[in-house]
Structure 1
Amino acid sequence: MDKLLIEGGVSLQGEIRIAGAKNSALPILASTLLTHDTVQICNLPHLFDITTMIELLACMGVEPVIDEKLNVEVNSSTIKHFNAPYELVKTMRASILVLGPLLAR
């Protein structure tokens, strides 16, 4: 593992951008089914599983708004269908994450 060793008496300042993580973003997207409010999720990684999960939510009637940086605004108050299409579910193991929130609704 690489590390950065800094020596000296000068304090550090500035900003760094932390990349989003798929393993946390997918459960967060699935958990948006539990609320009727609008949820904003920023800095999602641009991966097939993320776009598939967003598409899966949209098939259920959720209204996602996505910008060019893959920040997503999700409104789950408009869910019409409480089943997940097999064509999308079979492409992603993480699709099981929507099962709990769908049962809760």
Structure 2
Amino acid sequence: MIPDRIEAGTLLLAGAITRSDLLVTPVIPEHLKAVLTKLEDAGCKLEVEGKGLRIRAEAVQAVDLRTQPFPGFPTDLQAPFMSLLATAQGTSMVVENIFENRLQHVAELQRMGASIRLQGNTAYIEGVASLSGAPVQGTDLRASAAMVLAGLAADGITSVMGLEFLDRGYAALEERLNGVGASIRRVVDPH
């Protein structure tokens, strides 16, 4: 079975946003070339280990990216990557070329203290020293993943609503992240 490249990319971004050393397996690097190039451009160290890929992240630098059809940068990793860029040193530019209304996560990242300016299908992100925990809404599958990643890097508690979207694309994401040191608890809303 071929591993899901978007899920693998999201887990690599979890390592990057927490400035960690994380082994993600299984990964087919050829399926993520555009993403891996941007992670390396941002200062992350990547190394193939068996059927996995190890990411080591310390200081993360701003990078620019444009979504494109495969093999270009995937639109499905634009929102999660923007969470990383919100904590990078410098100013990044993200251009969404595939879908309209694929930047709804920007307002939620701003609630956490991200400095992002929108102009049409382009986001300009000025990295901040830290994000702050806040109640946020995942408006779609990838925005929900972006909020979880931002919460990993935030000071304080982040409550992410919209997990029904997240569950459609990620198998037991909170258990997997908790297994590598995150502190995530799923709470069922009684309403």
Give the alignment's Cα RMSD to 1 decimal.
2.3
| CA distance 1:74–1:57, shift in 2 (3 Å) | same
Q: Which residue is 2:18 aligned to?
A: 35
Q: Which residue is 1:7 aligned to?
A: none
Identity score, percent: 7
Structure 2, unaligned runs of 5 or more: 89-191
Q: TM-score, normalised by structure 2?
A: 0.37
Offset, 1:41? 0.8
Moved over 4 A (4+): none
Q: 3-state SS of the aligned residue for 1:27?
A: helix
- Which entry has the higher C-alpha Rg, 1 or 2? 1
Q: Which has more strand, going by share of residues?
A: 2
1:1-105 → structure 2 map (5 Å cutoff): 19-48=2-31, 50-67=32-49, 69-79=50-60, 81-86=61-66, 89-90=67-68, 91-92=72-73, 93-96=75-78, 97-105=80-88
Counterpart CA distance in 2 for 1:40 and 1:74 is 6
Q: 3-state SS of the aligned residue for 2:3?
A: coil
Q: Relative contact order (C-alpha < 8 Å, sep 6+): which is higher?
A: 1
Q: 3-state SS of the aligned residue for 2:23?
A: strand
Letter matched to residue 64 of structure 2: A
